[in-house]
Chain A
């Protein structure tokens, strides 16, 4: 008897001929991420991935489950007890392995799936036998097939039998790396980490760009972006963060352009700088945390002006979301507490008191003529710093 983790795949099982590619990326992701919890054997059969602690190795199963719950592409997973395909072994396992849950429950039922048809008993017979045995072992426990407190699952598969309780929901989505590559603009606020997470959930591999404006912003503001990305990395995996020095550009805009369109012009520079890095990194799109109407620079007219600076698609997964829903996700992925640390970031300095909410591109372009855009961009791009980001768990 040993403990293993069984994983059921998510919506990728709906894929047709591409299925194989998705499978191999997912297995690689699982293998890479599980290294933090010990050594495991990973194999796949019958639409299920089996995670087994490597022979003779002490593996941290709690940590492994924590990691697996954050890997995209999984519908559900469960810890299970692996036993030989023998009824008395199955009974013994269900009593000991699920004892804690059964003694807490008032009612239960047994469900069985027999994919190995050579096993002598049929599913209903297995259920009846195991259920009867458990009734005799746990006093006061009753059977309720409609609405039980706890369900004992018995699976008779090719290699062995498995006994487990209710499976946990996986992170859903599709495996990171199967959806191409995109570059996320990460500030330090609440929104951009959520946007990054949402795109990773759709299989996108991430690269990050952070704009730092020393001396107007501090080392702690940049560290905050790193810390946020490490949290996102629990789901999205490792990535590279490019830090772009942005103070010079911001000073120039402030000095030479009309105050009320300062933010729009600044964001256009961000798009251009991020795009240059994205293309070098092989990314097909940019990702931002913009949400329509949230602030003056996120009105539809302002976004139109900003968008015109980018040639590649700009993905805005939060565009139609309310702040409260964004905060809910930020809490779920554990970035909210970090996001609200009060450090000045590049988006909050020099912000005008009365920004134009409906900027017109024609005038924005005209205002930009006062700047030597090409030189400014080239200058900041030649001083970019790279930081390797690893998941923090």
Chain B
């Protein structure tokens, strides 16, 4: 058996459709979409085709999709842009303690700039309730930012409740949803959730790295971070990376039916959970109703990094909740209130449509082998 890749929430292998598209854009359809000539026109068409595909997955209009360099840039654009636009109406922001660093560090910066941020703490399962959200939103809240799926444990966040709370409190807030881990995996649309802004990324859905998008609801205006030549309606100027954008579009177009895939993943996840629990000494950290693409667990007494390297020697690739005894512990598991040893021994499996039950079997066998070979903490 070849390598087993269970680290798809970090990044994914680019699918064939996307790789071919990128190559075509690099070598044949290489024009600048702003150029007036035929090559420019063709590049523009390829880019617009990609926009349609991404918009289709989001059930959004094409003029609501703005291409960026990825999730981090989308988050930064959305948060700084919305905060700047909303500053006249209020200085309060709501977010959670389990957001991605590209949200949390922006929040820290906004705090320095005079905003006050309420961070909602998750429960021991990594989940946040609709009530928590509705009590955090105030009449002077100008921005609510919440991920749709947590990247470390897979918990699904009540983004729709945030939209309802904003309405109920008559707050002037925009709702930003970081949907990087949910995009293409969960059936949702920004319109149904009530989101004004939504971040998505290409390399989590088998597209190339360096590409992503920010959904901006029609009629919503945010201040841009960068200024330039008018591309992406001046929200994100700069010559578009057409190979990566088209590759993103191709990956979005190649996504299988989201509901069918969800069911298949739920089965794979359930199978894996069962096998893990059969080993003994293993605790599942992901909630029962988490996105089935993500499965986080802890091992009794074995340091996660050691197990990670052990598995890596056997060409099985997973991710760990903490890097090293000197490194930082996962802020998500810490916010969930897990004790230090459980965090130090936590591994995250993240699946893709290319994974199989056979791979889960090899993984659990190898894990068992590791547990008996590796010296315990």
Q: Residues on A close to B: CB < 8 A?
A: 214-218, 250-251, 254-255, 342-344, 348, 350
Expressed in whole angstroms, the minimum distance between the Cβ of B344 and any Cβ of chain A is 12
Q: Quick one: which of A217, A250, A342, A350 contacts B327, CB cutoff 8 A?
A: A342
Decide if A254 touches B375 in the complex (CB within 8 Å).
Answer: yes
Q: Mark out the residues of chain B between 134 and 171 whose CB falls within 8 Å of any chain A CB in the assembled complex.
A: none
Contact A215 B313 (CB under 8 A): yes
A241 to chain B: closest CB distance in Å?
20
* CB of A348, distance to nearest CB on chain B (Å): 7
Given A215-B313, A218-B305, A342-B324, 17 more A-B residue pairs with CB atoms under 8 Å apart are A214-B313, A215-B310, A215-B370, A216-B303, A216-B309, A216-B374, A216-B375, A217-B309, A218-B309, A250-B375, A251-B375, A342-B323, A342-B326, A343-B324, A344-B305, A348-B325, A348-B326
Q: How far is the CA of A343 from the CA of B325 in the complex (A)?
A: 9
Q: State the Cβ distance, A365 to closest chain B Cβ, in Å.
A: 24
Is A215 a contact partner of B306 (Cβ separation < 8 A)? yes
Residues of B within 8 A of A343 (CB): 324
Bound together, the chains give a CA A343 to CA B305 distance in angstroms of 10
Q: How far is the CA of A254 from the CA of B327 in the complex (A)?
A: 23
- Residues of B in contact with A (beta carbons under 8 Å apart): 303, 305-310, 312-313, 323-327, 370, 374-375
Docked Cα-Cα span, A215 to B309, in Å, equals 5
**Interface hub of A215, A251, A344 (most chain B Cβ within 10 A):** A215
Given A215-B312, A344-B324, A344-B326, are A350 and B375 also a contact pair (CB < 8 Å)?
yes
Contact A216 B323 (CB under 8 A): no
Closest Cβ–Cβ distance, residue A154 to chain B (whole Å): 56
A342 to B323, CA, bound (A): 9
CB nearest to A343 among chain B residues:
B324
Residues of B with C-beta under 8 A to A217: 309
Residues of B within 8 A of A348 (CB): 325-326
Q: Note all chain B residues with C-beta closer than 8 A to A254.
A: 375
CB distance from A230 to the nearest CB of B (A): 23
Residues of B within 8 A of A250 (CB): 375
| Given the contacts A251-B375, A254-B375, A350-B375, A216 and B306 also touching, CB distance less than 8 Å | yes
Tell which of B324, B325, B326, B374 touches A215, judged by Cβ atoms closer than 8 Å. Answer: B374
State whether A214 touches B309 (Cβ < 8 A). yes
Identify 23 residue pairs between A and B in the complex whose beta-carbon atoms are under 8 Å apart, listed by A's number.
A214-B313, A215-B306, A215-B307, A215-B308, A215-B310, A215-B312, A215-B313, A215-B370, A215-B374, A216-B375, A218-B305, A250-B375, A251-B375, A254-B375, A342-B323, A342-B326, A342-B327, A343-B324, A344-B324, A344-B326, A348-B325, A348-B326, A350-B375
Find the A residue at minimum CB distance from B376: A254
Which residue among B309, B310, B323, B370 has the maximum number of chain A CB atoms within 10 Å of its CB?
B309
Measured CB to CB, the closest approach of chain B to A260, in angstroms, equals 17
Chain B contacts for A342, CB-based, 8 A: 323-324, 326-327
Collect the chain B residues with CB atoms within 8 Å of residue A215's CB. Answer: 306-310, 312-313, 370, 374
| Chain B positions within 8 Å of A251 at CB level | 375
User: In whole angstroms, how far apart are the Cα atoms of A218 and B325 in the complex?
Assistant: 13
**Least CB distance, A187 to chain B, in whole angstroms:** 14
* B313 contact set on A, CB distance < 8 A: 214-215
| B375 contacts A255, C-beta separation under 8 Å | yes
Contacts of B326 in A (CB 8 A): 342, 344, 348
> What separation, in Å, do the CA atoms of A344 and B306 have in the docked complex?
10
Give the top 6 A-B pairs by smallest Cβ distance, nearest first. A215-B309, A215-B310, A342-B326, A344-B324, A342-B327, A251-B375
Contacts of B306 in A (CB 8 A): 215-216
**Chain A, residue nearest B314 (CB):** A215
Chain A residue at minimum C-beta to C-beta distance from B323: A342
Chain A residues contacting B303 (CB-CB under 8 Å) are 216
CA distance A251 to B370 in the complex (A): 14
A27–B303 alpha-carbon span in the complex (Å): 52
Residue in B303, B325, B375 with the greatest tally of chain A CB atoms within 10 Å: B375
CB B306 to nearest CB in A, in angstroms, measures 5
Once bound together, how far apart are the Cα atoms of A343 and B313, in whole Å?
A: 17
How far apart are the CA atoms of A85 and B374 in the complex, in Å? Answer: 75
B305 → chain A closest CB, angstroms: 7
Tell me, in angstroms, the Cα distance from A215 to B347 when the chains sit together: 15
- Distance in Å from the Cβ of B345 to the closest Cβ of chain A? 14
The CA of A251 and the CA of B373, in the complex, are separated in Å by: 10
Measured CB to CB, the closest approach of chain A to B299, in angstroms, equals 13
Tell me the bound Cα distance from A215 to B316 in angstroms.
13
Residues in chain A near residue B327, CB distance under 8 A: 342
Contacts of B324 in A (CB 8 A): 342-344
B370 to chain A, nearest CB (A): 8
Bound Cα distance from A350 to B374, whole angstroms: 12
Q: How far is the CA of A348 from the CA of B370 in the complex (A)?
A: 20
In this complex, which of B305, B307, B327 has the most chain A Cβ atoms within 10 angstroms of its Cβ? B305
Q: Is the CB of A344 within 8 A of B325?
A: yes
Please name all residues of chain A whose beta carbon is closer than 8 Å to the beta carbon of B308 when the two chains form the complex: 215
Complex Cα–Cα for A214 and B306 (A)? 8
Name which residue of chain A comes closest to B310, CB basis.
A215
A204 to chain B, nearest CB (A): 31
Docked Cα-Cα span, A342 to B326, in Å, equals 6
B214 CB, nearest partner CB in chain A, Å: 33
Residues of A contacting B305 in the complex (Cβ-Cβ under 8 angstroms) = 218, 344
Q: Name the residue of chain A whose CB is nearest to the CB of B370.
A: A215
Alpha-carbon distance between A350 and B324 when the two chains are bound, in angstroms: 13
Distance, CA A216 to CA B375, complexed state (A): 9
A221's closest neighbor in chain B, by CB? B324
- In Å, the complex CA distance between A255 and B303 comes to 17
How long is the Cα–Cα vector from A251 to B308 in the complex, in angstroms? 18
List residues of chain A with CB within 8 A of the CB of B307: 215
Docked CA distance A156–B171 (Å): 84
A348 vs B303: C-alpha distance when bound (angstroms):
13
In the complex, what's the smallest C-beta–C-beta distance from A347 to chain B, in angstroms?
12
A251 to B374, CA, bound (A): 8
- Please give, as numbers and ranges, the residues of chain A lying within 8 Å of B309 by CB-CB distance: 214-218
In the bound assembly, the distance between CA atoms of A250 and B306 in angstroms comes to 14
A257 CB, min distance to chain B CBs, angstroms = 13
Complex: how many Å from CA A233 to CA B308?
32
How far in angstroms is the closest Cβ of chain A from B1?
19
Chain B: minimal CB distance from A379 (Å): 16
